[in-house]
Chains A and B, each alone.
Chain A
């Protein structure tokens, strides 16, 4: 299948697809980070994760419209407020959901799966009722439009670069929050031994709620970033949920580094294959490979050895 292309052409194809893959990689990482906290650290299956992300996207959309209409002077930087707002909105909804549903289900992971699926249906319908079934997009400020030419055939869009930088910043903050801060340590302690953590004076209920809210908040930020490279519809979240879960499982559920590595592998495989096969076959092959590997190596790429 490579025969029809010259080497330079192939080189640029790989570079372009590689870059498209990097954007996909950023989206995957952003979505998977929140899930890696909720699923990997807490063991909760949040099927509504995609909808939390979409919530962030809609918040950004509302912000963009609001700023454009009322304070156009700030339009160049509205995006940063929008992201913070998205984080807190999604986080607050997350805390509410944890309080009303999840906390009753910590010992029944399969039931969480069903309950959060129900939540995802409700949220989807709510978005449809409020924002309509059509996809909406945000207006980007000028400085994010356009692209940087790298060579005469390869061009890199600025919004793509911005999303990547954003991903990097968020990933690093999550790492520090979960593995270097006191809050993160407490949350991991609770996950590993709830009773013990409670006994040494950690308020486990509060930590659970905060951790869950944090994961949802990150999903909100992911959704916010998502608006820069695509439009948002009520069911957009569901499109990604399977991929995201596979990424987290493939990476080894408890490992942040694994999540990032597997996001990278999956996004690159998919976008490179996409050029040569149809989009759907690329996706089938990618997912099939991942499922195949998981069947041979259920613990994922990076696994912690734990006592059964």
Chain B
């Protein structure tokens, strides 16, 4: 049995409790179900952002294609739900009853083979985890074994996001095209559009998120977490310490992919549809900014970053649609130039010392008080000054 204390320091437990209270008490009590559902939707992006903390913040591997995995998870879920709501009775008016409506519109007369297994919920749930993991494994193995990294990896994952979007939009008959898979109604007969269902799904989503946070905390506090940081800094040194570097990168990339897919599946359930607009280049890179605003090195920061940016997006684009893109653009620039450690960086430098003092009655330590060395900035270090010869 792994001892919980060994990877959850008091600060982490506190952070988890605060987040739990916020998600399970404060939010549900202060918002109507419409707003709460919106928060639930934002939180599904947080899964992606948390994955990016591990992959990019800690490991230095920037994927600009996380939307692909979000989409794969979401589409798997959507395919199941769509099939459930496309019973021959419900689709009797179609020329081929019993297949999803968009297939019928596109003159498809038979359910394609890859849709067949999605009649089973068990298969679907397994697929949500396995399909993205497999896909990430293929990409990761191909690239990391050949030591492709850094910007090349970013560009290629971005291209993959573009390709998948074009493919989904182009193959309307099989994918629902640009509209995506819409009009999802029930899960095993349970109406997911009702208010009750939305409450249940919100809490399920929140619980999953907390579970994922604990899991990630475990990974980060294990030696693997420190290895990721080491890899980001001196890949060769890790390699020449006897580690097969590519395997670690593949692992963290697949792990982040699976997290994104869980987020995608929860998105489909809560929002009731899935479309290519959550797969492509733009959503993928926006997910990176959620992570960056949270502080790229902190998994809790990623959750708050996601909430903050999405809340801002909703508020601004409702009131000043013109200004929102300016704001988002400025955010990208600011988070890189002005506060590269994001919210969690601000918290650590201004609030953490006080919190530590008040709550844990710990005298402030000299210098780097409470700062976890793993959470130091992700900059490539300045070149070591050559000593005078």
A contacts B: CB pair < 8 Å? yes
Residues of A whose CB lies within 8 Å of any CB of B are: 43, 45, 101, 104-105, 107-115, 117-122, 124-126, 128-129, 238, 242, 245-246, 249, 278, 280-281, 283-284, 287-288, 290-291, 294-296, 298
Q: Which residues of A contact B328 (CB under 8 A)?
A: 118, 121
A119 to B332, CA, bound (A): 8
Q: How far is the CA of A284 from the CA of B170 in the complex (A)?
A: 9
Given known pairs A104-B337, A278-B170, the reply for A113 and B154 (CB within 8 Å) is: yes
A/B pair count, beta carbons within 8 Å:
122
State the CA gap A65–B150 with chains docked (Å). Answer: 44
Instruction: Specify which of B60, B152, B162, B288 is in contact with A298 (CB 8 Å cutoff).
Output: B152
CA distance A298 to B147 in the complex (A): 9
Taking CB atoms, residues of chain A closer than 8 Å to B292 are 114
Interface of B is mostly: helix
10 nearest CB pairs, A to B: A118-B332, A280-B170, A121-B329, A122-B329, A125-B325, A295-B142, A118-B333, A118-B329, A298-B148, A115-B336
Taking CB atoms and an 8 Å cut-off, the chain B residues in 113-161 that contact chain A are: 139, 142-143, 146-148, 150-152, 154-156, 158-160
User: Is B215 engaged at the interface, CB distance under 8 Å to the other chain?
Assistant: no
Given contact pairs A107-B380, A110-B150, A125-B326, A119 touches B337 in the complex (Cβ within 8 A): no
Q: Least Cβ distance of B250 to chain A in Å? A: 14
Task: State the Cβ distance, A27 to closest chain B Cβ, in Å.
Answer: 18
Q: Give the distance in Å from the alpha carbon of A117 to the alpha carbon of B150 in the complex.
A: 17
A280→B166 contact, CB < 8 A = yes
Pick the residue among B56, B159, B167, B382 that contacts A291 (CB under 8 A).
B159
**B residues 304-344 in Cβ contact with A at 8 Å:** 322, 325-326, 328-333, 335-337, 340
B281 within 8 Å of A (CB atoms):
yes
**Which of A108, A112, A288 is in CB contact (< 8 Å) with B380?**
A108
Chain B residues with Cβ below 8 Å from A281 are 170
Q: Which of B143, B147, B154, B329 contacts A120 (CB 8 A)?
A: B329
| Contact of A111 with B340 in the complex, beta carbons under 8 Å | yes
Q: Which residues of B have CB within 8 Å of A284?
A: 163, 166-167, 170
Tell me how far the C-beta of A163 lies from the nearest C-beta in chain B, rounded to whole angstroms: 25
CA A245 to CA B155, docked complex, whole Å? 7
When chains A and B are docked, how far (Å) is the Cα of A190 from the Cα of B109?
62
Task: Tell me the complex Cα distance, A303–B36, Å.
Answer: 53
B285 to chain A, nearest CB (A): 6
Asked whether, in the complex, the Cβ of B62 is within 8 Å of the Cβ of A110, the reply is yes
For the complex with contacts A107-B379, A110-B60, A242-B159, 8 further pairs of A-B residues with Cβ separation under 8 Å are A45-B155, A104-B337, A108-B380, A114-B289, A114-B332, A118-B329, A287-B162, A295-B148
Are the CB atoms of B326 and A101 closer together than 8 Å? no
Q: Does B169 have its Cβ within 8 Å of any Cβ on chain A? A: yes
* Complex A-B: 17 CB contacts under 8 Å: A43-B151, A45-B154, A105-B336, A105-B337, A113-B154, A118-B328, A120-B329, A122-B329, A242-B281, A249-B155, A278-B170, A280-B166, A284-B166, A287-B159, A291-B160, A295-B156, A296-B146
For B329, the chain A residues whose CB sits under 8 A away are 118-122, 125
Contacts of B150 in A (CB 8 A): 109-110
Q: Which residue of A lies closest to B157 (CB)?
A: A291
- Docked Cα-Cα span, A90 to B264, in Å, equals 40
- Interface pair B333/A283, CB less than 8 Å apart: no
Taking a contact as CB atoms under 8 Å apart, the answer to whether A118 and B331 are in contact is: yes
Residues from chain B with a CB closer than 8 A to the CB of A105 are: 336-337
- Contact code string B32-67 (vs A, CB < 8 Å = 1, else 0): 000000000000000000000000100010101000
Residue total for B at the interface (Cβ-Cβ under 8 A): 46
Complex CA gap A296/B142 in Å reads 7
Among B163, B289, B331, max chain A CB count under 10 A is at B163
A288 touches B325 (CB 8 A): no
A242, B162: Cα distance in complex, Å: 8
Q: Is the CB of A118 within 8 A of B330?
A: yes
B166→A129 contact, CB < 8 A: no
Decide: A113 and B62 in contact? CB cutoff 8 A: yes
Question: Is the pair B151, A109 in contact by a Cβ cutoff of 8 Å?
Answer: yes
Of the candidates B64, B281, B333, which one forms a contact with A119 in the assembled complex, judged by CB atoms under 8 Å apart? Answer: B333
Chain B residues lying within 8 Å of A294, measured Cβ to Cβ, are 148, 152, 156
Structural contact, A288 and B170, CB atoms closer than 8 A: no
Which residues 48-97 of B have a CB within 8 angstroms of A?
Answer: 56, 60, 62, 64
Central interface residue in B150, B163, B166, B332, by most chain A CB within 10 Å = B332
Contacts of A246 in B (CB 8 A): 155, 159
Considering the complex, give the chain B residue whose CB is closest to the CB of A278.
B170
Closest chain-A Cβ to B252's Cβ sits at a distance in Å of: 16
Please measure, in the bound complex, the distance between the C-alpha atom of A125 and the C-alpha atom of B324, giving whole angstroms: 9
Q: Report how far A295 CA is from B163 CA in the complex, Å.
A: 15
In the docked arrangement, what's the CA distance between A192 and B150, Å? 18
- Shortest distance in angstroms between A54's beta carbon and chain B's nearest beta carbon? 15
**Neighbouring B residues of A290 by C-beta, 8 Å:** 159
Known: A111-B340, A125-B322, A280-B167. A117 touches B151 (CB 8 A): no
A124 and chain B: residue at smallest CB distance: B325
| Given contacts A242-B159, A298-B148, A115 and B170 within 8 Å (CB-CB) | no
B155 CB, min distance to chain A CBs, angstroms = 5
A255 to chain B, nearest CB (A): 15
CB pair B143–A295 under 8 Å, yes or no, is yes
Query: Which of A114, A128, A238, A242 contacts B336 (CB under 8 A)?
Result: A114
- Residues from chain A with Cβ under 8 Å of B62 in the complex: 110, 113
Q: Is the CB of B337 within 8 A of A101?
A: yes
Given A109-B151, A287-B162, do A298 and B325 touch, yes or no (CB 8 Å)? no
| Bound-complex Cα distance A129 to B331 (A) | 19
The distance from the CB of B175 to the nearest CB of chain A, in whole angstroms, is 12
Cα separation A181 to B207 with both chains bound (whole Å): 63
- Identity of the chain B residue whose Cβ is nearest the Cβ of A291 in the assembled complex: B159
The distance from the CB of B373 to the nearest CB of chain A, in whole angstroms, is 20
A295–B146 touching, CB < 8 Å? yes
A residues within 8 A CB of B159? Answer: 242, 245-246, 287, 290-291
Min CB distance B193 to A, Å, is 32
Q: CA of A101 to CA of B163 in the docked complex: distance in angstroms? A: 30
Chain B contacts for A129, CB-based, 8 A: 322
Of A112, A249, A295, the most chain B CB neighbours within 10 A belong to A295
A121–B156 CA distance with the chains assembled, in angstroms:
21
Complex: A296 Cα to B166 Cα, angstroms: 23
| Smallest beta-carbon distance A274→chain B, Å | 12
Nearest CB in chain A to that of B148: its residue:
A298
